[in-house]
Amino acid sequence: MGRHSGIRLSDKQEQALRQFMAGTKDKREYRAASGILLRAEGKPAEDVARHLGVTMKQVFAWTRFFRAKGIHGLHMKKPTGRRPTKAKKAMRIIPSLLRQDPQAFGYLKGRWVLRDIAKELKKKGVKIDFSSIHRILRDIGIVLKSPKMRAPGSMHKNYRKRMQVRNYKRAASMLLKKTSSSDFKTRNGQNC
């Protein structure tokens, strides 16, 4: 059994809440205003929380903020944290980079892949992980093609193409390996 809301809204307050909901672009503010309206209709906090996908504690917090400051209490603050400076720099560099051929930069592949884009950005002073580049490309509106790892046509009939694919797979895996200083030591522990 839920608690009684104790919220009474005048017609003017209810209309202002509905206008606030129609004008906000933040889903958290919309959810808070919706929660207040549901509580004013007499719905228990438990039902409101379940309906909106929040905790009962959050519903009570919305109620407290609304009682204290009115609609201004439902405005959400901007999220804190560091601003994405690397992503902005990368967004400026990536389109011009993708217009160029990756083989001009020394890559064996004929098209750009995320790791190669990350390497080139690092050379230009933007150290960003390749997993973040996918999100940046999506934000820009660029979709990279996923290469198929097989030769066109029948694999059984085309021996030369199968060999090219096998060699490509071998070369691509070697490109990802990193050399360490232990690779250059001889058997007796002396450096070359």
3 within some domain = no
Task: Please indicate, yes or no, if residue 48 is contained in any of the structural domains.
Answer: yes
DSSP string, 125-154: T----HHHHHHHHHHHT--PPPPPSS-SS-
Please indicate, yes or no, whether residues 57 and 87 belong to a single structural domain of this protein: no
pLDDT tens digits for range 159-182: 777 777 788 777 776 666 555 555
For residue 182, tell me if it sits in a domain.
no
Instruction: Please indicate, yes or no, if residue 189 is contained in any of the structural domains.
Output: no
92 and 69 in a common domain: no
For residue 187, tell me if it sits in a domain. no
- pLDDT tens for residues 119-142? 999 998 888 887 888 888 888 888
Q: Judge if pTM exceeds 0.85.
A: no
Question: Any idea what the Cα angle at residue 178 is, between residues 169 and 174, rounded to 5°?
Answer: 15
The answer as to whether 1 is a domain residue is no
The pLDDT > 90 percentage for the chain reads 24
Instruction: Find the domain containing 125 and state its range.
Output: 82-143
Side chain identity, residue 181? S
For residue 59, pLDDT beyond 50? yes
Rounded CA-CA distance 138/161 in Å is 33
CB < 8 Å & 24+ apart, contacts of 31-40 = 32/62, 32/65, 32/74, 32/76, 33/71, 33/74, 35/59, 35/62, 35/63, 36/7, 36/9, 36/62, 36/63, 36/66, 36/74, 37/9, 39/5, 39/7, 39/63, 40/5, 40/7, 40/8, 40/9, 40/14
Total domain count, the chain: 3
Question: Do 139 and 155 share a domain, yes or no?
Answer: no
User: In terms of domains, do 92 and 118 share one?
Assistant: yes
Q: Give the separation between CA 181 and CA 108, rounded to whole angstroms.
A: 25
Instruction: Give the three-class secondary structure for 185.
Output: strand
State yes or no: pLDDT of 1 exceeds 50. Answer: no
> In terms of domains, do 160 and 120 share one?
no
